């Protein structure tokens, strides 16, 4: 990593206490590619559809990135020496994003933009609609990552289906 950044190891370790802290900092930076705290707060002023489309687009762009697929192998190989690393990675990255999505859904529920639901289950349903089977194909290298147009289509379709399932009954035809 120091070589890639064209700095010495001492420079890197002067900013972080140890390798685990360095990995956590990188994970946090990567997690912000899904949604930053500022973007999360800004989503509160959007309609649920707009908030979900904005979140979903960032989320799929993040998940779709080729660089992310190397993390799976890195975390798996490092977990023997650092058994708590997979949980830390999950909590700082995908778990943080899923928690924020759950909060967006819970806020929409409190504003009667969605019908009665469990926000955690609904967030899981929505990410499933966005990712589908194609995520596995990409991870395994069986197909190229999604194009921007494919991402936009998958996000819009996922949000539309989600709102047909969970939208208020007076605004949704079932």
Give the span between the Cα atoms of 44 and 80, in whole angstroms: 41
What percent of the chain is modeled with pLDDT above 70? Answer: 80
Classify the C-alpha dihedral 48-38-71-87 as positive or negative: negative
Residues with Cβ within 8 Å of residue 155, at least 6 apart in sequence: 53, 56, 57, 60, 130
Domains of the chain: 28-166 (1.10.357.10)
pLDDT digits (tens, 9 = 90+) for 51-73: 999 999 998 988 887 556 667 77
pTM of the model: 0.79
């Amino acid at each position: 990593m120091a070589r890639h950044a064209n700095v010495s190891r001492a420079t890197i370790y002067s900013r972080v206490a140890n390798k685990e802290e360095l990995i956590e900092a990188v994970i946090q930076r990567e997690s912000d590619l899904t949604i930053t705290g500022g973007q999360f707060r800004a989503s509160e002023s959007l309609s649920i559809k707009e908030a979900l489309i904005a979140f979903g687009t960032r989320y799929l762009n993040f998940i779709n990135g080729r660089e992310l697929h190397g993390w799976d192998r890195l975390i798996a190989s490092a977990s023997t020496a650092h058994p708590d690393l997979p949980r830390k990675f999950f909590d700082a990255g995908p778990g943080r994003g899923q928690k924020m999505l759950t909060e967006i859904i819970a806020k929409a529920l409190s504003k009667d933009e969605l019908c009665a639901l469990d926000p955690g289950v609904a967030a899981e349903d929505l990410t499933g609609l966005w990712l589908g089977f194609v995520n596995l194909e990409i991870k395994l290298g069986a197909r190229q990552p999604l194009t921007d147009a494919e991402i936009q289509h998958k996000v819009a379709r996922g949000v539309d289906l989600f709102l047909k399932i969970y939208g208020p009954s007076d605004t949704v035809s079932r």
